Every structure is written in structure tokens, then in C-alpha cells.
Amino acid sequence: MEARLAWVCLLMAVIITAGVCSESVKPIETLRAFADEQTRLPCVFNVQDMQNVVQVTWSREQSDGVKEPIITQHMTEGLQEFPGFNGQVRFESLDPFKDSTLVILNTKESDQATYTCHISTFPTGNFEKKIRLSVWRMPIAMLEPIILEEGQSYRVAASCRAVGLPLPQLSWDTDLPGQSQNKSSDDVVTSFFYLHPLRSLNGRRLDCLVWHPALKQPQRHSNTLVVHYPPDPVVVGYDQSWSVSRKGVELRCESGGNPQPQNFTWTRKGSGLPEGVTVEGNRLVFTRPLNKTDEGVYECVARNRMGAVRAEVNVEIPVASEAARLEASFNNLLFIIVGGAAGGLVLLMVLIVLLVNRHHRRKNRKLKRELSERNDEINNLSRQASMRRLNSVSTDPRIQTEECALIRLDSALKNSFLSLEDSDSLHGNQSPLPSLSITAGPPREAGIEKEGWGKREGVTEGEEDDCTANSYQLSEALSNHFHYSNGCLRPKPHPNAIILHPRGQII
């Protein structure tokens, strides 16, 4: 093994010192890597015809000029890793003669150096490639907030510390009235922010920004300033309008402060708290109606870690005057009277509407009943006239005239009854029926002819005219050939007349 190692060292020395056969040395490349990650150092040699690669060797040179071999692949001796690099590096390819790229498995900050890829060929000579590796470490920062108290002197409000390669820079993002100061060592940088603690600064933003060339934008570590200060209580709930017998009242002790006070104490100057009140945190609740004896100066004490502060209120409870009570009673009575009057008026209007409607319905029923009786009477007369016409043929014009008049009267009465029913159905018994005047004479002579009146159902206008014409002709004949005396109808003397005796003889 020692002979092998000596042979390899001798071979490297020969290769390094053989400058005459050297093919080329390329310019130094710069490569950036991150700590705790895998790093790849590329090195590829293109083999020409009639050219063989004998050996591939990787070495590195520290900043102090010390050189040390890392790994070697020989065409006959095989692979060899040098002390200090076992398990830390390897060739990326299974055939290092074609691809000599080196991989650092877990990069450390100490791996920052200049690396050389040396390839020995036969018969052309040597090939070298140099890579300057820079190892960066992503920054790690920590912000330490500080709790301040109101009244303290000018001091540090927060500190921010960061490590990384290269060394990061720190700044503050805030609008607080203060100043920052930075300190750095080989691998750590620290920034401090100073100010005067005031309660008005509590809760304001104080962020730390970390700047590093490996970051596209700075890291932000959020923080808010914390300033503790005593409570500042005030008693609320009393509105100068409390009076005897009032219910559901309470006093509240509202307080600021940091930290928020959780301890409250209630007292009354000159005497203890009255009976019938309870303390519920920052509330003093009166669980009964107020009395005159509840008057007094009430105090609330709020406490936090910064101290205790007192607040008070003077409670006065006057007795309600007799005039105020009378006024309230009068207002209630007036409201009741107005409401009753309005309700009575509405009820009266409803009653009037019902009575008027009932009156109209009764009147309409009465008119219908009278019209029905008159219609029955006319029908009886019409039937009697019809029976007389059937039982005997009379030439008395009075009988025909009477029959025509009855026909017209019957038609007029029926049409009036129909009109009454139509009006009743259209108006819904809302208005009284019109009064009817019925005459036995012809409609034209009576002066009441209207559309639809005087026409008997089933009798046309022509028939009525015929009835009138026949009556006129009959009356004309009777007046020319007969005369009426002593209740008998006797023929007038005529030269050409043939008179029949009642006994059947010709006179």
C-alpha cells in the first residue's frame, strides 16, 4: 500500500512538473454554493482520436496557499480518496475519464477554496480546469423584544441578531422616535434600537429587516413595542337623572392601562356600600329600586402590575315631585280618552253604514212585493179578457179597446218589473227603487213612452198597431150603421137595408 501511494505521488509530481507536454490551462471559474447543501464542480474533457486519458485528479488550494489532493481515478490503479475526504466527495459519473465532474456531498464553510481538475492524457499531455468556490450560508436571524415601563430612561427597546455567509446586514422598519446601533463580529451581526418609553408608543410597529445577497428581498421579523403603564379608570353609568324608585341602574369602572387591570374595588365614602348592590368585576349593580339612602360618593380602585389608581363619582338621587307625577297621570288619562273617542267614532260609523244598508234592503223588498201584487192583478184581468174573447165574438169597440189597453198595461208592467230586477242586481240594493206610474191608456197618449216600455212580452209592434187599427175601424162602422140608446145597440134606417126581426121575419 505504501508503495502504491508513493507511486501515485511520484506520478502526480511528474504530471505537475511536465509543463512541456501540457495541452492547456483554462481561466479560473467562480462558483457559488450554500452550506449544508450538495455542490457540483463540473469538469469534462473531450478525447480526440489517438488520445487516451491516463488519470483524473482533483485537488484544492486554501487561501493560505496550502494544496491537498482530494480524489484520483487511474486507468490501472483505479479509484482512490485521500485522507480527510473519505465519504465526502465522489465522481458524478461512473466513467470519470469521460465526465470528471466532482460532487461535494455536504458542503461546509471550510470547503470554500480553489479547486483544480487535472487530467493526464497520452500522448498529448495534461489538461487543467480551476474553479474558485464561494460557500454562502443563508442568514438566520432572531429578534429579542424588551418589555418597557413608562417613566424609564432612554434604553434599548429591542435587539436583532443574525448569522450567515457573507455576513448579513440589519435595519429597522418603524416610525418610532429612536435610534439604532449595529455591532458585528466574524460571523454574527447585532442591531439595537434605543428610545424613551412612553405609553403613547405602546403597540407601535418595530420590525427588524435582514439583508443578504442570497435573498431577493429582506427577511422581515415583525415586532410591536410593549410599554407597561398604570391604569387610568373613570366611573360611568350615572347620568344625573337617577331618582327614587328607578330600577335597573349600575356603575361601571372603565379603565385603560397595560397590562389591562383585572382587579377592581368598590367603596362609598363615609359609609359602606348599601344593601341590595352586587360587585361584578368592574360593575356595581343595583339589584333593587333606588332609595334616597343610596346617595353618596362612590369610589373605584383599578390595579395592575404598574400600580393602583382611584376614580370616583358623586351620586345624587332626588325624590320625584308631586307635579311630575300628576303630569304623568294626566298624560296617561288623556291618551286613554283620545283612544276611546277614536274607537267609538269608528264603531258609530260602522253602525250607520249597517243601518242604511238594512233600510235600503227592506225598501227594495217592499217595492218588489207591491209590484208583484200589481202584476198578479193585471194577469188576472188579462186572463178574464182572453176568456171573453174565446167565449164570444163581440163587435163592441169598447171591449176591443179594453183588451188592447190591458195588453199594453200588462206589457208595461212586466217590463217595469224586469227593469226593477235589473236595477236591483246592478246596484246591489244600494239605492231605493224608482216609483212607477201605471196607467191604463196607451203609452203615446200618457206621455211616458220609453224604450222597452209598453211592449207586452210575446206581442210585436205590428200586432199592437193592428189592434189599434181594428178598434178604429170597428168604431167607425158602428157609428155609421148603428146607434146606441137605452142600453141597446140599434141599426140606423137605410133604404137598402134588410132588417131581420128577432123572430126570424123580414121587415
Question: In this predicted model, what pLDDT tens digit does every residue of 341-399 receive, in sequence order?
Answer: 998 999 999 999 999 988 888 888 888 888 888 888 888 887 777 777 666 544 444 54
Kind of pairing, strands 179-184 and 188-195?
antiparallel
CATH architecture, domain 236-315 = Sandwich (2.60)
Residue 479 — pLDDT band, cuts 50, 70, 90? low
Single-letter residue type at 251: L
Query: Which pLDDT score, from 0 to 100, does residue 21 have?
Result: 38
What is the Cα–Cα distance from 399 to 384, expressed in whole angstroms? 12
Radius of gyration from C-alpha coordinates of the chain: 67
Residue 495 — pLDDT band, cuts 50, 70, 90? low
Residue 458 — pLDDT band, cuts 50, 70, 90? very low
Q: Residue 215 is placed in which grid cell?
A: 435573498
Q: So where are the chain's domains?
A: 2-136, 146-228, 236-315, 340-480
Determine phi and psi for 316, rounding to 5 degrees.
-115, 135
What is the Cα–Cα distance from 222 to 209, expressed in whole angstroms? 9
Determine phi and psi for 330, rounding to 5 degrees.
-60, -40
Q: Residue 183 is placed in which grid cell?
A: 455591532
What is the Cα–Cα distance from 5 to 81, expressed in whole angstroms? 11
Whether the per-residue pLDDT at 442 is higher than 90: the answer is no
215: left (phi over 0), alpha (psi -120 to 50) or beta: beta
Q: Does domain 2-136 sit in CATH 2.40.128.690? A: no
Tell the CATH superfamily of the 146-228 domain: Immunoglobulins (2.60.40.10)
- Mean pLDDT along residues 411-421: 52
What is the Cα–Cα distance from 40 to 62, expressed in whole angstroms? 18
CA quadruple 191, 197, 199, 204: dihedral, nearest 10 = -10
249 neighbors 286 (Cβ within 8 angstroms): yes
Task: Give helix 397-427 / helix 322-391 axis angle, nearest 10°.
Answer: 150
Per-residue burial over 422-460, b = 16 or more CB atoms within 10 Å of its CB, e = otherwise: eebeeeebeeebeebeeeeebbeeeeeeeeebbbbeeee
Kind of pairing, strands 147-149 and 29-34?
unpaired
What is the Cα–Cα distance from 149 to 196, expressed in whole angstroms? 10
Give 296-348 pLDDT, tens digit per residue: 999 999 999 999 999 999 999 988 654 455 666 777 788 899 888 998 999 99
Asked if 2-136 and 146-228 have one fold, the answer is: yes
255 neighbors 231 (Cβ within 8 angstroms): yes
Residue 24 — pLDDT band, cuts 50, 70, 90? low
Q: Give, for 463, the enclosing helix (H) or strand (E).
A: helix 461-481
Give 130-152 pLDDT, tens digit per residue: 999 999 999 999 999 999 999 99
Query: Which pLDDT score, from 0 to 100, does residue 394 have?
Result: 46
